[in-house]
Structure 1
Amino acid sequence: MIITADYHTHTNYSHGKGTPEENVLAAIEKGLRRIAISEHAGAHLFYGVRGTRLARLRREVDALARRYANEIEVLMGLECNLMAAGKCDAPLPGCADIPCGADLAPFDVLLLGYHKGVWPEDAATRGAFRESFGLGHANPVKVAEALLETANRYHIGMLSHPCEYVQADIPTLARGAAELGILLEINASHVSLSPAQLREAASYGAKFVIGSDAHTPSRVGTFERAIRAAEEAQVAHLVVNEEGFPA
């Protein structure tokens, strides 16, 4: 498999170790055609990027996109945090519960995932919070439904590292993702979906995207673990950022 795009990379704007430009240069060196800088959105208590800092990142990414336009496509992403069923922290126009700065242009790529560092606001996320810390179990169907409802409302394109911190019901998640056109990430840092789960998701029509979840420039475009998982599960043909995937 040859992966041509990395939509999930972090920088020193959050808890990564490199600059956005260093990530871009690493992607060019790896031969990628596209990279997204996808920091944690603002509700993350420890790593969230918000307000003027997020707007500054938007401007920096735009400048990098112009500077390296002949070598790679540079995108502004955001890894949003599930806060409740139907609610995340994507600062998008039209979402009255979350303010949007006037100077913050729409994002090119939106991911959604559950993270421990986000305060839960409803029964589904309270259950997820407890499970993520080993204090109980969430309802996996409710978790899947919460992710799908939120992804649909906020026009999310990808679900990041599904089942990493809390289990989601695969039939519910995969069927809904297929219907809504949402990709399930095979995360090269976490590999949160087992081969059996990947095969099951594929049987319900899900498609996948491989992401590095790089937190250092050296990890940008490093996909080996995710590729092995996709190949073992025999879902490589369903990975949309693989070179041979139909346009």
Structure 2
Amino acid sequence: MENKKYEMGYDLHTHTIFSHGKGTIEQNVRAALDRGLTHIAITDHGPGHLFYGMKRKDVPTMRKEIELLNKKYPRINVHLSVEANIIKTDNHLDIKPEEFSQYDFVIAGYHYGLTNCYCVHNWLYGHGLTVGEKQLKIKNTDMVIKALYENDIAILTHPGDKGPFDMLPIAEACADTDTLMEISTWHPHLTVEEIKIAAQTEAQFIISSDAHVPGRIGDFEGGLKRAKEAGLDLGRIVNLREMK
């Protein structure tokens, strides 16, 4: 099976100037149209990020623009979402339960740059400077699983990135909560080995560009390559379609 026989149907993880992307919402939409996508989601970083989180006050502005773009470009469906940040306190996300209704759906992942998420320990781990990996893995895994069960999360973004995580129980939780596991083309996660582990469960997958510039919208080839290498049934990737 060659890559050219497949295409991405939709891209549900993209960023704009409302967080630390380089393009406007409309530029992302136009790029998605150029790639032949049927849906695109604008998923700027959650407001808890200390350096490039979106501003809560901008959400109504984003919603209004997206409503106008859906009328302007009827060949594509544009969705307002947010890439919430997973943390260890409250509902384990940096957006509140009452804020979910502002979005068409919510995606979430672990990132540096926040408080209450073992950020320093994970950063040190990523740079080979930490001790206590076993306990950190337990804490990270527990934090992610609690976020999954306490919130309606559509996609778990780049699972395994930026720290040690136990992928099997995370994948089991994704299967149990109907949360898609992302195979990112921007981050190396899910890795080939992580895909193999997650595939042991009933979890479903999605390939995302995590584009921070319009030119990367619809990028899926790297994720498809890893999925094939892992031996994943490509029918489990919900936004992959075979070209006619």
Residues 42-81 of structure 1, C-alpha deviations (whole Å, 9 max, x = no match): 000111012212221222122212222x210100010001
Partner residue, 1:148:
145
Deviation at 1:168, TM superposition (A): 1.2
Q: Decide which moves more: 227-236 or 4-13.
A: 227-236
Partner residue, 1:131:
125
Deviation at 1:130, TM superposition (A): 4.3
Provide TM-score, normalisation by structure 2: 0.88
1:127-206 correspondence runs (5 A): 127-128=121-122, 130-132=124-126, 134-136=128-130, 137=133, 139-206=136-203
User: What SS does the aligned partner of 1:2 have?
Assistant: strand
Partner residue, 2:23:
18
Percent of aligned pairs with the same residue? 32
Deviation at 1:145, TM superposition (A): 2.4
Query: Within 2, Cα distance between the matches of 1:193 and 1:42?
Result: 25
Deviation at 1:22, TM superposition (A): 0.4
Partner residue, 1:108:
104
1:227 maps to 2:224: yes
State which of 38, 46, 51 in structure 2 corresponds to 1:41: 46
Residues 192-233 of structure 1, C-alpha deviations (whole Å, 9 max, x = no match): 122121011111222111100001110000111111111111
Q: Decide which moves more: 19-28 or 184-193.
A: 184-193
Query: Within 1, Cα distance between the matches of 2:77 and 2:158?
Result: 24
Runs (4+) off by over 3 Å: 124-130, 132-135
**Is residue 191–residue 225 contact of structure 1 (8 Å, CA) maintained in 2?**
no
Structure 2: 5+ residue runs without aligned partners? 1-5
Query: Within 2, Cα distance between the matches of 1:141 and 1:181?
Result: 22
Cα distance change of structure 1 residues 50 and 152 upon mapping to structure 2, 3 Å threshold: farther
State which of 84, 88, 96 in structure 2 corresponds to 1:84: 88
User: Number of residue pairs matched?
Assistant: 232
Residues 139-168 of structure 1, C-alpha deviations (whole Å, 9 max, x = no match): 323322211211222211111111110121
**Is residue 125–residue 143 contact of structure 1 (8 Å, CA) maintained in 2?**
no
The amino acid of 1:28's aligned partner reads: L
Query: Within 1, Cα distance between the matches of 2:236 and 2:139?
Result: 26
Partner residue, 2:37:
32
Residues 154-185 of structure 1, C-alpha deviations (whole Å, 9 max, x = no match): 21111111111012101111111111111110
Deviation at 1:10, TM superposition (A): 0.5
Residues 84-119 of structure 1, C-alpha deviations (whole Å, 9 max, x = no match): 1542112441xxxxxx5xxx9531131111111111
Deviation at 1:127, TM superposition (A): 4.4
Query: Within 1, Cα distance between the matches of 2:35 and 2:145?
Result: 33
RMSD, aligned α-carbons: 2.0
**Is residue 40–residue 49 contact of structure 1 (8 Å, CA) maintained in 2?**
yes
Partner residue, 2:14:
9
State which of 218, 239, 242 in structure 2 corresponds to 1:241: 239
Query: Within 1, Cα distance between the matches of 2:147 and 2:172?
Result: 15
**Is residue 109–residue 157 contact of structure 2 (8 Å, CA) maintained in 1?**
yes
Q: Decide which moves more: 201-210 or 125-134.
A: 125-134
Deviation at 1:34, TM superposition (A): 0.4
State which of 217, 227, 233 in structure 1 corresponds to 2:214: 217
The amino acid of 1:162's aligned partner reads: P
The amino acid of 1:242's aligned partner reads: L
